[in-house]
Amino acid sequence: MRTVTSAVALVALIFISGVFAQEKFEVVPDTVGIGLQKNFDVVDFYSSDEKRCVRYDLGNPWSTNVTGWIEVGGDLEKYFVGNEPEEVFVPSGTFRYNASCCLLPIYACFKFPYVLNDTYFTGRVSSAFRVGESRRVGGTGSATGSSVAYTLTVHIMPLTELVFRAGETKCLDIYGVGKRCFSAPWVVLSDTTEKVNIEGHEVMFIYKNNLAVILLVVALVAAFYFWFRSKRKKDL
């Protein structure tokens, strides 16, 4: 009878592990698993080549310590670049309503292409686990599994401006267009803006001045000239 009761409790916990109901959990003896709490269904990012991360939280209302991480599927999978941290040790009894310890944060990180129009990428996010503290690579954990998956939609807002240093070249991976490269002038005496048309979409290019560098180069050339001229006079 005890075995049946424990099995029923475990199944129930697996199905609610993703939502962490408001009641305080009791740790179920001789069970193993992991829970995932989402913080967002939809996130917004501006077009950029920077890494973008979405926070989730891991919990473990079961009786066995586990190591957890985030897995991503669907259209988001091709843009997923990993977890920060890579994985998290989640001790038994780690859940929101335990006053002694809280859910543990972990970030799912992505690198998206630039876009010229509002673009949405959707995928599934779940947490996976292994028993104990061993690493995924070469780990020896004997039990693995995952939580209920959530849907995540990432909204990438259109590219509106690019900032260049004088003489800088930037190559952009643009969604639906491919790679395009753009260069700033080598000499920019004051900050300058230029409207550039990319596939029918207007983007503001901002060129940052390099006046200080130019003045430094001129000063060095002038100093060398006067030094060289003075040396020649002494030699004569």
135-146, pLDDT tens digit by residue?
A: 554 444 445 666
CA–CA separation, 54 and 42 (whole Å):
10
Query: What pLDDT is attached to residue 214?
Result: 65
Q: Cβ distance 156 to 45 under 8 Å?
A: yes
* 235 has pLDDT over 80: no
pLDDT digits (tens, 9 = 90+) for 72-121: 999 999 999 999 999 999 988 887 655 456 789 999 999 999 999 999 99
More confident residue, 108 or 227: 108
Instruction: Provide mean pLDDT across the span 173-197.
Output: 92
Give yes or no for residue 196 having a pLDDT over 80: yes
27, 61 Cβ separation under 8 angstroms: yes
Is pLDDT larger for residue 209 or for residue 2? 209
Q: Does pLDDT of 3 surpass 60?
A: no
Above 70 in pLDDT, residue 22? no
Q: Percentage of the chain surpassing pLDDT 90? A: 47
| pLDDT of the residue at 14 | 38
Residues of the chain with CATH 2.60.40.10: 2-157
What is the pTM (predicted TM-score) of this model?
A: 0.73
How do beta strands 52-59 and 201-208 pair? Answer: unpaired
Query: For domain 2-157, which architecture applies?
Result: Sandwich (2.60)
* pLDDT score of 144: 65
- Distance CA(33)–CA(234), nearest Å, equals 86
Q: How far apart are CA 90 and CA 20, in angstroms?
A: 15
Name the least confident of 16-30, 43-57, 168-182, 184-198: 16-30
Greater confidence, 135 or 180? 180
On the 0-12 / 13-18 / 19+ scale of CB atoms within 10 A, 26 is exposed
- What is the rounded CA–CA span in Å between residue 150 and residue 90? 20
